[in-house]
Amino acid sequence: MSDILVTGATGFVGGYLVDHLLQHSNDEIHCLARSREHEPAGARIFNQLNRILDSAAEFEDVSYRRAFLRARVHVIEGDVRQSGLGINSSVDTTRFREVWHVASLTDFLVSKRARLFETNLEGGRQVLRFVSENAIPLCNYVSTAFVAGTRSGEIDATAYDGRFPPNNPYEESKRAMEDEILQAAARGRFAYRIFRPAVVVGHSRTGKPDPNSRGLYGFLALALSLKREILKTRPQHFIENKLRVVVEDNHNLNLVPVDQVVSQMAEIASVPQSVNRIYHIVARDGFHAQCYLDILREVLDVDVEFTTIKNQFNAVDYMFERQSARYQCYLRNSKSFDLAQTDCFVKSSQDQYRITRDVWRLLLLKFREQWDMAFLGKSRAGAP
Ligand SMILES: NC(=O)c1ccc[n+]([C@@H]2O[C@H](COP(=O)([O-])OP(=O)(O)OC[C@H]3O[C@@H](n4cnc5c(N)ncnc54)[C@H](OP(=O)(O)O)[C@@H]3O)[C@@H](O)[C@H]2O)c1
């Protein structure tokens, strides 16, 4: 049994990671979290973890997981951007044997550059300083497979190749943080693991999406918001027109369910010899959304068409292209990620995580349900 510090547990990946560690270890999990104006850090953590358990409860008895949650999750108020992570001096910070640094700002907008660097790089440096000062032997860092930037084709699980520029300040900040870890580890300060997930989507069984609609969900949310706006003045538009989106021919998008991400990271981390390496946490086969366009059309209620040229674009297509500009880099430069390192330590079968036609439909339906509730205040049954 050890004491582990996790950052980012109020978020999508961090929440599932804590739930997974509770089930598959007997560690005490200390979650560093910020309070919000009307919601203290403790309530935020327990609400997030209880939401995950509520969705799992549809499939299995989760009473033992709720008991673990109450007994082994401890909340520490803090902020990664602050010195000492803003942790109150009364907390014994020397007890931690391992840190999972999951917290990050995940926004692709150029206008967020300063905030991205403040959280992802300066915050990350504070975490590394905290690790060193408290003599914590090990830091697991959740990066992204997209540190590969504009590079396409086969991507090695080694330091990113600087000849290929990043697509946005998010990728740039994640690259900079990987550099920091590799440099600090080279000075012998601590052992590390760098995990690089691809595009993280909802749970493969429950379909529960990222509540904050980021990544793929951000792109889908923009399409639904655009549709809502256009229908206000042109109710016939999507009956008479397709929504055309430029996507690289035969594009290979790497989608990875959140339960696969956390189970693979934890499986690798359970082997002490796995330290000081970089791991891709990705689907073995890329996902070809064009093969499942019928499901996208059905769930969005929009006749989406992927195209490589804009010669048939109308004003709404151009408007969507402008609004979704931050996501377009993920619709080209197809990548396949080297899994040799990951395969050395992940022995469990990964078949259950394949995004089949049915899983894709479930993921989209659950996203649509969430979007309808958030923006229309009603369930899908009542949606237009
Ligand atoms: N989602 C993906 O598709 C994807 C893909 C590849 C890699 N990743 C990586 O996976 C990790 C988790 O991503 P996610 O999707 O779970 O993101 P998320 O849902 O946005 O969660 C981010 C977490 O970071 C916390 N955080 C942000 N700034 C903080 C600060 N200053 N101090 C303390 N905590 C702070 C947030 O806390 P608050 O709730 O207080 O804001 C939240 O708990 C990130 O490192 C991301 O780069 C994600």
Residue 190 and residue 323 share a domain = no
Q: How far is the CA of 9 from the centre of ligand 1 (A)?
A: 8
Q: What is the pLDDT of residue 214?
A: 86
- Please name the amino acid found at residue 203: H
Residue 223 and residue 190 share a domain = no
Residue 231 and residue 163 share a domain = no
Q: Is 12 in the pocket of ligand 1 (CB under 6 A)?
A: yes
Query: Which ligand 1 atom sits closest to the C-alpha of 256?
Result: 3
Residue 275 and residue 146 share a domain = yes
Residue 325 and residue 258 share a domain = no
Q: How far is the CA of 256 from the centre of ligand 1 (A)?
A: 16
**Domain final residue pick, 263, 281, 299:** 281
Q: What is the pLDDT of residue 351?
A: 82
Is 309 exposed, middle or buried, given 0-12, 13-18 or 19+ CB atoms closer than 10 A? exposed
Q: Is 103 in the pocket of ligand 1 (CB under 6 A)?
A: yes
* CA-closest residue to ligand 1 atom 2: 200
Q: Is 258 in the pocket of ligand 1 (CB under 6 A)?
A: no
| CA pair distance 124, 305, nearest whole angstrom | 40
Q: Does residue 340 lie within any of the structural domains?
A: no
Specify the residue for token string 């979650």.
31
Residue 61 and residue 23 share a domain = yes
pTM: 0.96
Q: How far is the CA of 142 from the centre of ligand 1 (A)?
A: 9
Q: Is 119 in the pocket of ligand 1 (CB under 6 A)?
A: yes
Q: What is the pLDDT of residue 382?
A: 42
| CA pair distance 219, 330, nearest whole angstrom | 10
Whether the Cβ atoms of residue 14 and residue 103 lie closer than 8 Å to each other: yes
Domain region containing 226: 216-252+287-332+353-382
Q: What is the pLDDT of residue 243?
A: 96
Distances (CA, A) of 263 to 21, 148, 205, 335: 9, 23, 14, 23
Q: Does residue 342 lie within any of the structural domains?
A: no
Q: Does residue 345 lie within any of the structural domains?
A: no
Q: Which residues of 319-346 are buried (b: 16+ CB within 10 A; e: fewer)?
A: ebeeebebbbbbbebbbbbebebbeebb
| CA pair distance 127, 122, nearest whole angstrom | 9
Q: Is 222 in the pocket of ligand 1 (CB under 6 A)?
A: no
Query: Which ligand 1 atom sits closest to the C-alpha of 36?
Result: 40
Q: How far is the CA of 293 from the centre of ligand 1 (A)?
A: 29
Q: Does residue 316 lie within any of the structural domains?
A: yes
Residue 171 and residue 76 share a domain = yes
Name the token pair of 80.
């990664």
Q: How far is the CA of 8 from the centre of ligand 1 (A)?
A: 5
Residue 245's DSSP bridge partners are: 306
Ligand 1 pocket check: which of 7, 38, 106 to mutate, most ligand atoms within 8 Å of Cβ? 106
Report residue 320 CA to chain centroid gap.
23
Neighbours of 118 (CB within 10 A): 15
Please tell me whether residue 189 adopts helix, strand or coil conformation.
coil
Q: Does residue 366 lie within any of the structural domains?
A: yes
| CA pair distance 235, 237, nearest whole angstrom | 6
Q: Per-block average pLDDT, block size 10, for the chain (384 residues)?
A: 95 98 96 96 97 95 96 98 97 96 95 97 98 96 98 96 97 98 92 98 95 90 94 94 94 95 97 97 89 92 93 95 95 94 91 91 95 76 42
Residue 264 and residue 143 share a domain = yes
Q: How far is the CA of 366 from the centre of ligand 1 (A)?
A: 21
Residue 89 and residue 111 share a domain = yes
- The DSSP string of 193-208 is EEEEE-EEES-TTT--
* CA-closest residue to ligand 1 atom 19: 11
Q: Is 194 in the pocket of ligand 1 (CB under 6 A)?
A: no
| CA pair distance 124, 134, nearest whole angstrom | 15
Residue 90 and residue 220 share a domain = no
Q: Which CATH number do you get for residue 89? A: 3.40.50.720
Query: Which ligand 1 atom sits closest to the C-alpha of 215?
Result: 3
Q: Does residue 348 lie within any of the structural domains?
A: no
Number of independent structural domains in the chain:
2
Residue 89 and residue 50 share a domain = yes
Pairing mode of beta strands 96-101, 3-7: parallel
Q: What is the pLDDT of residue 378?
A: 61
Q: Does residue 57 lie within any of the structural domains?
A: yes
| Residue (of 142, 104, 116) closest to 256 by Cα position | 142
Q: How far is the CA of 199 from the centre of ligand 1 (A)?
A: 13
* CA-closest residue to ligand 1 atom 21: 11
Q: How far is the CA of 130 from the centre of ligand 1 (A)?
A: 19
Q: Is 254 in the pocket of ligand 1 (CB under 6 A)?
A: no
Residue 14 and residue 135 share a domain = yes
Q: What is the pLDDT of residue 384?
A: 38
Q: Does residue 104 lie within any of the structural domains?
A: yes
